[in-house]
Chain A
Amino acid sequence: MEECSPQTRLAATDLACRRGERVLFARLSLELAGGEALQIAGANGLGKSSLIRLLAGLLRPFAGVVERTGAIGLVDERPALDEHQPLGAALSFWTALDPTSAPLERLGLAALVDVPVRYLSTGQRKRAALARLIGQAAPVWLLDEPLNGLDTAGVALVEALVAEHCADGGLAVIASHQRFTLPGLKRLDLASYAT
């Protein structure tokens, strides 16, 4: 299903991030190849979300470079779905742009396709965003607080999805202050790069 090649790679060298007047972190380097997963940990305000956006190429680094091989899939606090549309229609907009569609049954969304997105709970929105992510079939996953609002079963589901993604040769970066259980998960504590 996933179009992962052995070259899937994400690397950052001497990265620094400035927001407003403050440099959040500096001299941060990381390298991930296909099959690997990394958790970015750190307290609120250290720049986890900014790092995710830097890696995605949506922010320009204050210093340093990011190299990425492979398409980027991003899940953050915004599901990028039309609020007024039923979930099924909102997701099918992305299905028309993306190579595959998501297994709604497994994500617990099958019963919700007729419900407008604005009535969905935080956890259901997160599941919908994951559906969009899976449909995109991108080899690089950047997940910003993917466990927020999810129940215990949801957390287990995300952990299983990331495990399968990595087993398929994809790589994942997970920014979360919560515990994320995954065999072979690397860890990067953003506090040690704070300035």
Chain B
Amino acid sequence: MIVITLLKRDLAQLLPGGRGGGSLLPVLFFMAVAMLYPFAVGPNPTLLAATGGGVLWVGALLAAILPLERLLAGDVERGLFDQWALRGLAEELVVAVRLLAHWLSFGPFIMLAAVPASALVGIDGETLRIVELGLLAGTPGLAAIGVIIASVTVGLKSGGAALSGLLMVPLAVPLLIFGAGSLSTGGEGGLALTAAISLALVALAPFAGGAAIRAAREG
């Protein structure tokens, strides 16, 4: 019951078109990367087909950074986390629900947008299939890294967005290596490793996030 109440509020804020200023921005950003790439490297079909899948991965990673600044900081500043704590709601639970809402608000949309984006970067159906499977396995991990970074940077008054981006990039490298790497090896092993990393990150994120938010109270 509590989980559903929290999830409903989170989704209302985060979903594209949501009232809380959650927007289509990450998806449009992802599409923009896919659209610009052929202009940048030229219309060579072999080159595009060979590199297009990797570009979609980079686009997905960058798009996942966009919602981070307001993901947790707003609720900490406005005292909601304090009120939840007084009601005996663990920060871990709130962060776990936020992680789910954050993923729902960009993961499935990026996967949908990858279909038209694949036409823009000129990759074939088989490659698209591997990209989609990779995104399915990898975006929960990207969301988890995002939630961890958002919780660590809640105390920062300004410059949170830029710092989130810089912190996210190195942490996301393993996901990128195995996720995008599955394209060249043709699948299975890379996808399984991507899913495993995602799973570990998703399991870790609520505890890391909860601890970071509690620590920010003492600051």
Contact = CB atoms under 8 A, between A and B. Distances in A.
B206 to A, nearest CB: 19
B82 A74 contact: yes
Classify chain B's interface size. 20 to 34
A56 B86 contact: yes
B32 interface: no
B83 A80 contact: yes
Contact of B78 (A57, A81, A97): A81
Contact of B82 (A71, A80, A138): A80
A148 interface: no
Nearest to A117: B78
Interface stretch (A82-90, A102-110, A167-175): A82-90
B159 interface: no
Most buried by A among B2, B5, B21: B5
Interface in B4-23: 5, 9, 13, 19-21
Contacts of A85: 19-20
A136 B79 contact: no
Contacts of A73: 86
Given A80-B82, A84-B20, A84-B21, A97 B77 contact: no
A78 B82 CA distance: 10
Contacts of A97: 2, 5, 87, 89
B85 interface: yes
Contacts of A80: 78-80, 82-83
Quick one: which of A56, A60, A93, A132 has the most chain B CB within 10 A?
A93
The B interface is mostly helix, strand or loop, or mixed, namely helix
A41 interface: no
A1 interface: no
Interface residues of A, number: 27
A61 to B, nearest CB: 11
B97 to A, nearest CB: 13
B217 interface: yes
B218 interface: yes
A81 to B, nearest CB: 7
Given A58-B217, A78-B78, A82-B20, A96 B83 contact: no
Contacts of B89: 97
Interface in B45-73: none
A96 B218 contact: no
B65 to A, nearest CB: 23
A59 B218 contact: yes
Given A72-B86, A93-B9, 10 more contacts: A57-B85, A58-B82, A58-B217, A71-B88, A78-B77, A78-B82, A79-B78, A81-B78, A98-B87, A138-B86
23 contacts: A53-B217, A57-B85, A58-B217, A59-B217, A59-B218, A71-B86, A71-B87, A74-B82, A78-B77, A78-B82, A79-B78, A79-B79, A80-B78, A80-B79, A80-B80, A81-B78, A82-B78, A83-B78, A85-B19, A97-B5, A98-B87, A132-B83, A136-B87
Interface of B: 2, 5, 9, 13, 19-21, 77-80, 82-83, 85-89, 217-218
